[in-house]
Chain A
Amino acid sequence: MNTLTGAWDWLTDPANWAGADGIWHRLVQHLVLTVVCLVISCLIALPVALVLGHLGKGGALAVNISNVGRAVPTFAVLVLLLLTPLGKWGEGPTVVALVLFAVPPLLTNAYVGMREVDRSVVRAARGMGMTGRQMLFRVELPLSLPLVMNGVRIAAVQLVATATIAALAGGGGLGRIITAGFNLASTPQVVAGAVLVAVFALIVEGVFEAAERLAPYWARGPR
């Protein structure tokens, strides 16, 4: 219990919230990293997945990228990028690694979502004289939205986790509170940082869960 009270004391000490190493600054870093990388990953993955899904090609590629991505340790990629010339460019390695790990789930989910749209619906749309573009944006995309959003959700949660590990390799974010705690051999600070990260991750998951429930019925998907 001593550690828990210590962690509570650490969290409630205003001195730990202010400054460049403070909780607020780390929190904002974590949030900005997550959001920026999520936007970049979506811009890269979604157009590719939607076009491939529309054409019905490259499915094996998307799934394989996703499977290979799981086997590559995030931490190893972060350190490898850090040691390349990219490492001199501030948060560069972190952003590249984060995007690298967020693209596969986005790609796979969006592609699978597009392919799982009922083929007879697509044929009906074609029979109505819709062009490829109209079919993509008016039929396939709305119908595949639940799975596409599920991919975004998985990517977002993964980004939060990866941004935490990035602190091990010198990146910013809430993970830095944990690594700093390890360096100071201060278990209360380590636990306090871990609680902050865990709560942050659960809030991100919760926001997506809430968005899913509040979304119009056609965007919710089968439950």
Chain B
Amino acid sequence: MKVDLRQVEDAARELYVRALKVLPPDIKEAFARVSRAESDSTAKSILGTMIRNIAVAEQTDNLLCQDTGIPIYSVTIGRGVEVDGALLKDAIRSGCARATKEHSLRSSVVHPITRKNEQTSCGPGVPPIHIDFSDHPDELVIEMVPKGSGSENNSWLRMAIPAEGVAAIKTFVIDCVLDAGGKTCPPTIVGVGVGGTSDLCVALAKRAATRPLGSACADAEGAKLERELTEAVNMLGVGPQGLGGDTTAFAVHVEIAATHITMNPVAVNMQCHSARRASATFTPRGVAYGF
């Protein structure tokens, strides 16, 4: 299957706008679930406002949140796909800039030293574009996450040591959630990376934070850890917006990688309650949008 790069550019544009306006169904369902279960009246009222906002955004065709985030694109290329990788990246970058200009999105991206804003949501190394491969014949998937800074500004890495064991991982996650308080716009999805190298560990935490709710870590030990942490984090009482309540996190997600015999790294990255994402799947039948 040959991929039309103009369609890729259009999809990159479309994905950014879609992600900012419509929340995925798993997030909406989670809102309904936690709102029913919440016992604190302030927290229940805050969750109600969040749910109302989701409807208002759709009714008024507006963005869910003012923070257009750092746009992140992840591409998965199937076996039978013919595409020029360098041009694919250019097309995604162009689409991202077009979304910003044409829709009139706030460009939230600046040069890290001069702080200059190009007003395109692009800059050196941004948008980050991750490329991976699958054994699907004839399928290319682009996933887009606009990552807000309230949650992203609370990201942590700790190079624990083997002697500290899994207790170090658990303690670290609890302490990160306490330190984040209301700054990450709870209820959050807490992404935990366990193992790997330092950079892989942080990348795993981001992947975990942006995974759909209801999905589980593929590793049995990781899946057990995320269940335990989900329960423990919600015992803290940080609550929606850090104003107290039962609902601190929709879920804790864990992603793992093997690590060195001398290492025990753990990273935490959070996704805010406006857990936005969108995807486009290219097949010989055309382009299908989803989450």
* B is bound to A: no
Binding site for B on A (CB under 8 A): none
